[in-house]
Chain A
């Protein structure tokens, strides 16, 4: 029974794995990424205007500290996440960078500058909780099973969303209509590659195919696109002869005279002529040409030659992931080959919406990009301010003086604050754009409504804000490529459907590349050469294409292999990869698995390497062996059939692998030779979807609905409730562990955060109160605590004002009452409740002793509010009552905070929040509001069957089982089943009943037979039921509780796990008889909060008209709305002109005796008399309309009859 709870010393690995992409990437950012970013920020050069000395300034040695408290008084100034949550501050740590400066030919000096504080991810490597065990977590006021992975911004937990991006370093062939608009001769075909530097900044390069057979290469400088003829670019990288280039481009076997071969040869010739056409023959000429053309854009120092500028351009904007020119040339050639293959129909285009061409933008990587942009901007800003200073007074500018540099450096904006803004709002403000298509929606709040919802935030993946507005639905489609990586079930319905997906439970994301990329790259190249790869050497020609295929590693051409040898090479690589994984995780390695011994360079092959072998086939994707070791890729484990060893596979390679189910069956592909098998059928499901019992028995959309409803369930949000100041938090009091559960339930320790109750559910139509998805609860079950719940509301009162014009403190209300205090009488709630009440029975209570309140309830403030102005713990606060008091020490005026809403709250906790100020200025008051089931509350089973509570049915009237006397807790209507086909719910009921009778929990995992488990729940558990003396299929004879007669049919009854959803009437009901009206129109206002009404609109009006209910219509639209009586002048037809003319009084004395001025007779100011003034009933808006029209000089006159 302890299976569903956490036992060990540490947070279980299964839970940590859920946040792995977040933590791993952020750790990379903290430990490695910052350094990479700073290394890659180019130095600035300044020439002093008087000394003409050149100076260089750059960043070095970034350091990120651990979070520190600025309030700490003792020696321990560690800032823990709990403190941030409770006091509403940000969990952040100082970022400091050294600014180095150097005069040309002299030594370097440096100063240190802090760039504010970066928000820290909880449980990242700089977090104090990183190494905490569960006991330590509890000591620090955290959840025992804290997983981390989020930031705390102003006390709110926020998660950086994972976004889908195009896969890096893979050449994609695309056809897009938009490409034709790029210029004359452009076709819709292009190949493109997204290149990523080690600092995670990225840039795309595209090769466009032109109608005349030429190719233009496009790249982006500061959000603008530029084109270079490929013929020129080809010559820019290496000194190659035209002959060599021709052979490299055409890559044909001299004997091959096929169509494809001549196609390439023709175009190769064209490209070579292209450069010549511009009069460019040598490499230097080409580079110079580029430099000359792009000089203004790159903005280099004036002394740079065109050649240098050209080199700079190639380095900074083209194939930025590669450093060696030979590699760049090879990559460009491969792009051309793929483009020609696309143009000649040799290969097909790639689908940019398929997951095999995707990777993820991870939190850490986003931070790297953001940091880089800001550092670059800061450095550029520094240069600008130095230039400005030199323009003003160049003598004062001393670029070798640390003081001056510090002065300038201090002007740099705070980066920490920008990151905080990004996290708080989810908006990114960038100057140059960092190759991300959106600038909003980067963060979401990690709501702790229940554990399902909470963990889903860390597993969710968004396709990008751009696609949400897209009219087409192709991007939302579920494609087979997503299998095993994205859950097909767990996506919301409605507008984000298919765009907001969730990773499967087993899916990981590579947070980092290999530790030393050069090392592993070299190892891979050596191993491949040993296996028969021809390395790509500049001197060698590219071997002919269909016979040989290209081998690429992270967007670098390693060489070529013979197509027929490729499968064996790949098989060997996979064996090595599996062995590497076994070395990496020896403990998770299964005992029966056999892996090869690794030798020499093989040891350098990373376990997470992706080996995508795309075989040659005309019309299918471009062939080759594509290896990936870089970060941000999707990874998941599968088992190798031959060795039984686990292997991590990526999404590109998966599409070309043969993976079967664990039952060993061929599925739909008879005769297929499978090399791999799944670890379980659960591999395709997300954590939440995998928790639905018997989901394989349900109609598929019902499982999607359950994924939604599971996340809206009132459950157990957290264990450390006392340390959570969330504005709203729901909790149920009597949760249970489900009788029927999937194996995921135990694996993810769901008993730590239970979500529902096993209710005895009878399926029958009884009383009619169960029509249309309503459900009936047994009143006694509710009395005994079924689905009882609480809403926790925290109100944080902060007395500090922005302007500081007030000096407020918490204090009791000491003002002398204007009227003698009298008993207020017990207040009444919205439903007429009279309990609970505050009874002061203590004679030693200060307030009682001083005679301020009597020992019996008086319902006066001091009963609730203590001497510190804050409420007592346990005080019941009624709507409209004050629950704290403040005093302004300047104006000496007091103020009380009144409880809003219609419900009685009980003070649960008062948290005093310290700050730099001496007096108490901030307190969080947590209130408990009872939310026991009332009519209108929403419940659901785990099968997408939601219903609204319609009655608390008396126990005696409930039907009961003749044999056992059991009265069901819950009745649902049988009509809920035929159209929805949630057979899983019926099976769950039957199986749970058998499980309850046998005293055991039942494994209700879906697709058990495909996992190789021989089972048929209906047969097996039917037999168990029969053995226990019940009918085989869960039916029982029941007797009507009202008449005492037996029902003619057997009733299906059994335990079903029910969830209580957070949608409750108490939050939603809206009633109004009279209430506030709009000032201008005198019509009732709208909105629940304001006590407004619900609009009686045109369609409702039509309905009443159709029924001829004219009186009712008049009542709704006039009498109950803006009924008004107006004076109307029948002669001129105006209602604006009649006025009440006061009767002139002869003297002041008379006025005094009469009191107020008596109202006189109505007169028309147009006609001059009140002869024909009539009183008419009109809607007040009509008068308003007339007034508005009158302003526009339009007269509207009425004809009275």
Chain B
């Protein structure tokens, strides 16, 4: 008989909102370490594609080569197909045919008298990967919806200025460079656990109840018009500002309410950069996490096996 196994928990995910750029879900029945691991992986270990190498052939713009290269790198590329690629440092010798580079080209020259904006739309796509392109991409020259996003501005040209370059995108992770981060932010919030001491609450007058409810800067509580009881309206709106607790203290009713963050329920918010739909980011993060656990398990096993032999 070994130690008592901890109660088996099956983490739950309850998706509240989901769109290509934003998603909100509640992760419950787990603990902060798992929640944080998921957040960290989404932030820095979900692979995406981004421009990594730039060969500049002509640059007579006002911005210098390094600066333009840096700006190019930060353009989010639509990278649903990132799984097919191999990172620059991940290749093994046997994988000579591994897909690595996506080559964009750009050749813009200003001939008019007006200032010409060079945007991500001026990048010419790689023939082999027509579906890998910057976010909100409308190839220049094509009729454009005036309402549509205009692409990411890179540099402005005046008459006679010329920019010609070759940009190679590669697979990478956010840990190496922020340009490979698939998310703008990812955060989780502890679900507040609000318990109102109704017995004590009943000792307050109507006005006091209302005053107490209003003392919270965000609408967390309300007085039920029917029962005249104070109830939690929106626990998540609570900011741990301590205003209601201070108010209760001012009334001389300490312990009117107890508010603690729950350690097993987290509200996640993921904001994508457009490189990947948020759903894919989360799934891909879980995949990375699983792979890490696998590696760990295998390493442990291989560590443990010879040890077992030694012990014999």
Find out whether the CB atom of A956 lies under 8 angstroms from the CB atom of B190: no
Complex CA–CA separation, A637 to B154 (angstroms): 47
Q: Is A312 close to B, CB under 8 A?
A: no
Known: A780-B178, A783-B177, A962-B190. 14 other contacts (CB 8 A): A779-B178, A783-B179, A785-B74, A790-B66, A928-B66, A930-B66, A954-B44, A956-B44, A956-B174, A1026-B217, A1029-B218, A1031-B217, A1043-B32, A1046-B190
Find out whether the CB atom of A839 lies under 8 angstroms from the CB atom of B190: no
| Set of chain A residues within 8 Å of B239, measured between Cβ atoms | 963, 1029-1031, 1037
Given A783-B178, A1029-B218, do A841 and B187 touch, yes or no (CB 8 Å)?
no
Q: Is B170 close to A, CB under 8 A?
A: no
Q: Is B67 close to A, CB under 8 A?
A: yes
Given A1026-B217, A1037-B240, A1043-B32, do A955 and B67 touch, yes or no (CB 8 Å)?
no
Pick the residue among A733, A928, A962, A1045 that contacts B189 (CB under 8 A).
A962
For A895-926 the 0/1 string (1 means CB < 8 A from B) is 00000000000101000000000000000000
For A1036-1064 the 0/1 string (1 means CB < 8 A from B) is 01010111111000100000000000000
Q: Is A784 close to B, CB under 8 A?
A: yes
Q: Is B101 close to A, CB under 8 A?
A: no
Find the A residue at minimum CB distance from B53: A835
| Set of chain A residues within 8 Å of B56, measured between Cβ atoms | 874
Measured between C-beta atoms, what is the minimum distance from B21 to chain A in Å? 14
For B145-188 the 0/1 string (1 means CB < 8 A from A) is 00000000000000000000000000000110111010001111
| Set of chain B residues within 8 Å of A1031, measured between Cβ atoms | 217, 239, 241
| Set of chain A residues within 8 Å of B66, measured between Cβ atoms | 790, 836, 906, 928, 930
Given A783-B178, A906-B65, A1031-B239, do A964 and B218 touch, yes or no (CB 8 Å)?
no
Q: Is A965 close to B, CB under 8 A?
A: yes
Given A783-B179, A785-B70, A955-B174, do A962 and B188 touch, yes or no (CB 8 Å)?
yes
Q: Is A966 close to B, CB under 8 A?
A: yes
Q: Is A175 close to B, CB under 8 A?
A: no
Find the A residue at minimum CB distance from B176: A783
| Set of chain B residues within 8 Å of A1037, measured between Cβ atoms | 239-240
Chain A interface (Cβ within 8 Å of chain B)?
733, 779-781, 783-785, 788, 790, 836, 839, 841-842, 874, 906, 908, 928, 930, 954-956, 960-967, 1026, 1029-1032, 1037, 1039, 1041-1046, 1050
Complex CA–CA separation, A1148 to B64 (angstroms): 69
Pick the residue among B36, B65, B178, B181 that contacts A1044 (CB under 8 A).
B36
Q: Is B29 close to A, CB under 8 A?
A: no
Complex CA–CA separation, A788 to B178 (angstroms): 14
Find out whether the CB atom of A963 lies under 8 angstroms from the CB atom of B65: no
**Which of chain B's residues 225-281 have a Cβ closer than 8 Å to chain A?**
239-241, 261, 269, 271
| Set of chain B residues within 8 Å of A963, measured between Cβ atoms | 187, 189, 239
Pick the residue among A788, A967, A1043, A1044 that contacts B70 (CB under 8 A).
A788
| Set of chain B residues within 8 Å of A788, measured between Cβ atoms | 67, 70
Measured between C-beta atoms, what is the minimum distance from A128 to chain B in Å? 25
Q: Could you list 17 examples of A-B contacts with CB < 8 Å?
A: A733-B67, A783-B177, A930-B66, A954-B175, A955-B43, A955-B44, A955-B178, A956-B44, A963-B187, A963-B189, A964-B185, A965-B269, A1029-B239, A1039-B188, A1041-B40, A1044-B33, A1044-B35
**Which of chain B's residues 65-96 have a Cβ closer than 8 Å to chain A?**
65-67, 70, 74
Find out whether the CB atom of B36 lies under 8 angstroms from the CB atom of A1043: yes
For B52-70 the 0/1 string (1 means CB < 8 A from A) is 0001110100001111001
Complex CA–CA separation, A790 to B239 (angstroms): 42
Find the A residue at minimum CB distance from B179: A783
Find out whether the CB atom of A965 lies under 8 angstroms from the CB atom of B44: no
Complex CA–CA separation, A956 to B39 (angstroms): 8
Find out whether the CB atom of B39 lies under 8 angstroms from the CB atom of A1044: yes
| Set of chain B residues within 8 Å of A928, measured between Cβ atoms | 64, 66
Chain B interface (Cβ within 8 Å of chain A)?
32-33, 35-37, 39-40, 43-44, 55-57, 59, 64-67, 70, 74, 174-175, 177-179, 181, 185-190, 217-218, 239-241, 261, 269, 271
| Set of chain A residues within 8 Å of B269, measured between Cβ atoms | 965
Measured between C-beta atoms, what is the minimum distance from A973 to chain B in Å? 23
Measured between C-beta atoms, what is the minimum distance from B98 to chain A in Å? 22
Complex CA–CA separation, A164 to B32 (angstroms): 68
Find the A residue at minimum CB distance from B240: A1037
| Set of chain B residues within 8 Å of A930, measured between Cβ atoms | 66
Measured between C-beta atoms, what is the minimum distance from A847 to chain B in Å? 16
| Set of chain A residues within 8 Å of B188, measured between Cβ atoms | 962, 1039, 1044
Measured between C-beta atoms, what is the minimum distance from B285 to chain A in Å? 12
Measured between C-beta atoms, what is the minimum distance from A105 to chain B in Å? 72
Pick the residue among B33, B59, B174, B186 that contacts A874 (CB under 8 A).
B59
Find out whether the CB atom of A874 lies under 8 angstroms from the CB atom of B65: yes
Complex CA–CA separation, A965 to B57 (angstroms): 40
Complex CA–CA separation, A422 to B217 (angstroms): 68
Find out whether the CB atom of A960 lies under 8 angstroms from the CB atom of B190: no
| Set of chain A residues within 8 Å of B261, measured between Cβ atoms | 1046
Given A780-B174, A1044-B33, do A790 and B64 touch, yes or no (CB 8 Å)?
yes
Find the A residue at minimum CB distance from B186: A965
| Set of chain A residues within 8 Å of B57, measured between Cβ atoms | 841-842
Measured between C-beta atoms, what is the minimum distance from A375 to chain B in Å? 49
Find the B residue at minimum CB distance from A958: B43
Measured between C-beta atoms, what is the minimum distance from B262 to chain A in Å? 11
| Set of chain A residues within 8 Å of B35, measured between Cβ atoms | 1044
Find out whether the CB atom of A965 lies under 8 angstroms from the CB atom of B187: yes
| Set of chain A residues within 8 Å of B33, measured between Cβ atoms | 1043-1044
Complex CA–CA separation, A1156 to B64 (angstroms): 59
| Set of chain A residues within 8 Å of B241, measured between Cβ atoms | 1031-1032
Complex CA–CA separation, A1063 to B178 (angstroms): 26
Find out whether the CB atom of A956 lies under 8 angstroms from the CB atom of B65: no
Find out whether the CB atom of B271 lies under 8 angstroms from the CB atom of A955: no
Complex CA–CA separation, A1050 to B218 (angstroms): 17
Find the A residue at minimum CB distance from B70: A785
Measured between C-beta atoms, what is the minimum distance from B244 to chain A in Å? 14
Measured between C-beta atoms, what is the minimum distance from A1028 to chain B in Å? 10
Q: Nearest 8 pairs between A and B by C-beta? A: A1044-B36, A965-B187, A965-B185, A783-B178, A780-B178, A1044-B32, A956-B40, A956-B44
| Set of chain B residues within 8 Å of A783, measured between Cβ atoms | 177-179
Given A874-B56, A908-B64, do A956 and B32 touch, yes or no (CB 8 Å)?
no
Most chain A CB inside 10 Å of its own CB: which residue of B39, B66, B177, B190 = B66
Complex CA–CA separation, A336 to B181 (angstroms): 84
Find the B residue at minimum CB distance from A842: B57
Complex CA–CA separation, A1050 to B242 (angstroms): 11
Most chain B CB inside 10 Å of its own CB: which residue of A788, A906, A960 = A960
Find the B residue at minimum CB distance from A963: B189
Pick the residue among A841, A955, A1039 that contacts B181 (CB under 8 A).
A955
Given A836-B66, A930-B66, do A966 and B185 touch, yes or no (CB 8 Å)?
yes
| Set of chain B residues within 8 Å of A790, measured between Cβ atoms | 64, 66
Most chain B CB inside 10 Å of its own CB: which residue of A783, A790, A1031, A1037 = A783
Given A956-B44, A965-B271, A1032-B217, do A784 and B32 touch, yes or no (CB 8 Å)?
no
Find out whether the CB atom of A1050 lies under 8 angstroms from the CB atom of B240: yes
Complex CA–CA separation, A57 to B218 (angstroms): 92
Find the B residue at minimum CB distance from A1050: B240
Given A779-B178, A954-B175, A1046-B190, do A841 and B36 touch, yes or no (CB 8 Å)?
no
Complex CA–CA separation, A309 to B44 (angstroms): 93
| Set of chain B residues within 8 Å of A841, measured between Cβ atoms | 55, 57
Complex CA–CA separation, A1157 to B32 (angstroms): 80
Given A836-B66, A874-B59, do A960 and B175 touch, yes or no (CB 8 Å)?
no
| Set of chain B residues within 8 Å of A967, measured between Cβ atoms | 185
| Set of chain A residues within 8 Å of B240, measured between Cβ atoms | 1037, 1050
Find the A residue at minimum CB distance from B266: A1044
Measured between C-beta atoms, what is the minimum distance from B116 to chain A in Å? 19
Complex CA–CA separation, A757 to B107 (angstroms): 32
Measured between C-beta atoms, what is the minimum distance from B60 to chain A in Å? 9
Most chain B CB inside 10 Å of its own CB: which residue of A841, A906, A956 = A956
